[in-house]
Chain A
């Protein structure tokens, strides 16, 4: 058994850059590479793609990521763990085998399934957000339970080069190789709590190495155009030192690590995953070298008996329209345009929003600061049951060209379908996960 293993994170969301993962696989001397590509919203969208074509429903960038990574993974003996299976891990595994055959490479892929619990829900279960039955939100399109480390371990026990999952808790993608490599007990809540701290720090990739952090003049980050993604060297007792590949851009220090540690955390003493109720309050972060941060002190309590289920429902369509005003009294003219739209559409949309981009569109207020901007973009958004009704928003905004205030230009209109997300809980005893191994 190795004393230390190195786990890298090469993607923190579905649309993340491709090259940091390649650099990690090629130069990172990794044991494991993790790509976290599945958000709450992306799995519901993936389920819709799968319904349209049963061979789809995996991550839209899977082919490009695998094509660029596969030779390096095999050459450097790095095992890949990723949730790019999304709504269809089996189809994703078949796709990877097809890519390998085309590249004349030999690969073993393990697909973890069992997170899709759509057939196990009646729709009468209460939504955590509202307390009302799930089906009252709208027509349900998907339900995926967050699987944990126990579901991924059997896949790691095979000789698979690539482990593909659907919905699993993000930190479990990192806890599972630690448990596998060091034979940690899943019942050791403190050990798994520390593993979860490691996973949570790594899971957003570039957000640990200075991405989403920079504020010029105050929080400067070098060479962001070549931002490198992080890896952690983890010892058998769970002590982790985070770093990045030498020569890549970015910065990894206690400040970047603190922001990431608290990112999306509700109660820091009760961070819930399928593996553990982790406690982040005793975590110690220490700079031990340039771009090197040591993390210790993660704790935990016994894992919950229920798993969270992310449920997607049809939430209608959003129509948007935009038009710009610039020069003297730009805001005044944009506000007149907004008032016209408000009068014409208010009765037809229960959910309508009018924003003045350049003034109050992002924070809904300017906290008392109202400098006269040179240009303002009016943005109107409305939600409707059908695409046709939603399109009305953009049509009315476009009509401002000849029916609105002076000097409006650059109108654009969009309509998109919306999948809403609610959550519920399911007894973990009702979930059976499976591993399917494919070879090419």
Chain B
């Protein structure tokens, strides 16, 4: 069954220069292992190919639990020089949550 990340988790986007950060926090801690298994850096890179030009690194925080994705070259230059509508990339948490995984 395909499940949208939106139904399993919440997320907040942040920016540092041209780098986008995306947290992914399961509503239910028991869904953390499936997020770890399915929402790999490679899968996110594939999903966000229209947005992220550079590498994506994934960090695991089992204590919280949560995942953190750091996406390079994702903000078309960054907050002051970008011509994007959303120069900070603040809306992009919901781009990640559009991703579907097999559950």
Given contacts A263-B23, A353-B83, contact A258 B66 (CB under 8 A): yes
List A residues 377-428 near B (Cβ within 8 Å). Answer: 379, 381-383, 418-423
Other-chain residue from B10, B66, B79 in contact with A421 (beta carbon distance below 8 A): B79
Which residues of chain A have C-beta atoms less than 8 A from B61's C-beta?
Answer: 262, 268, 280-281
Which DSSP category, helix, strand, loop or mixed, fits chain A's interface? mixed
Interface status of B70 (Cβ within 8 A of chain A): yes
List B residues 58-83 near A (Cβ within 8 Å). Answer: 59, 61, 63-64, 66, 68, 70, 78-81, 83
Q: Which residue of B lies closest to A127 (CB)?
A: B17
Given contacts A259-B23, A280-B61, A281-B63, contact A265 B85 (CB under 8 A): no
Query: A420 and B23: CB pair below 8 A?
Result: no
Other-chain residue from B16, B23, B70, B92 in contact with A258 (beta carbon distance below 8 A): B23
Q: Which residue of A lies closest to B59 (CB)?
A: A268
Give the shortest distance, in Å, between B23 (CB) and chain A (any CB): 4
Total interface residues on B, CB under 8 Å, equals: 36
Query: A420 and B80: CB pair below 8 A?
Result: yes
Which residues of chain B have C-beta atoms less than 8 A from A69's C-beta?
Answer: none
List A residues 267-291 near B (Cβ within 8 Å). Answer: 267-269, 280-285
Interface string of A250-271 (1 = CB under 8 A from B): 0000010011111111111100
Which residues of chain A have C-beta atoms less than 8 A from B23's C-beta?
Answer: 258-259, 262-263
Given contacts A263-B23, A315-B80, contact A215 B10 (CB under 8 A): yes
Interface status of A367 (Cβ within 8 A of chain B): yes
| A: contact size bracket | 35 or more
Give the shortest distance, in Å, between A114 (CB) and chain B (any CB): 24
Q: Which residue of A lies closest to B23 (CB)?
A: A262
Q: Which residue of A lies closest to B77 (CB)?
A: A420
Q: How far is the CA of A175 from the CA of B6 in the complex (A)?
A: 35
Query: A255 and B95: CB pair below 8 A?
Result: no
Interface string of B30-67 (1 = CB under 8 A from A): 00000000000000000000110000010101011010
Highest count of chain B CB atoms <10 Å: which of A264, A367, A419: A264
Interface status of A219 (Cβ within 8 A of chain B): yes
Interface status of A374 (Cβ within 8 A of chain B): no
Query: B79 and A265: CB pair below 8 A?
Result: no
Highest count of chain A CB atoms <10 Å: which of B15, B25, B27, B92: B25
Query: A41 and B80: CB pair below 8 A?
Result: yes
Which residues of chain B have C-beta atoms less than 8 A from A213's C-beta?
Answer: 10, 12
Query: A379 and B21: CB pair below 8 A?
Result: no
Given contacts A281-B63, A315-B80, contact A259 B86 (CB under 8 A): no
Q: How far is the CA of A383 from the CA of B19 in the complex (A)?
A: 21
Q: Which residue of B lies closest to A128 (CB)?
A: B17
Given contacts A266-B21, A281-B61, A365-B51, contact A259 B12 (CB under 8 A): yes
Interface status of A357 (Cβ within 8 A of chain B): yes
Query: A263 and B63: CB pair below 8 A?
Result: no
A318-B83, A355-B85, A422-B17 known; 5 other A-B pairs, CB under 8 Å?
A: A40-B79, A213-B10, A262-B68, A367-B98, A421-B79
Residues in chain A within 8 A of chain B (CB atoms)? 40-41, 44, 129, 212-213, 215, 218-219, 255, 258-269, 280-285, 297, 315, 318, 351-353, 355, 357, 361-365, 367, 379, 381-383, 418-423
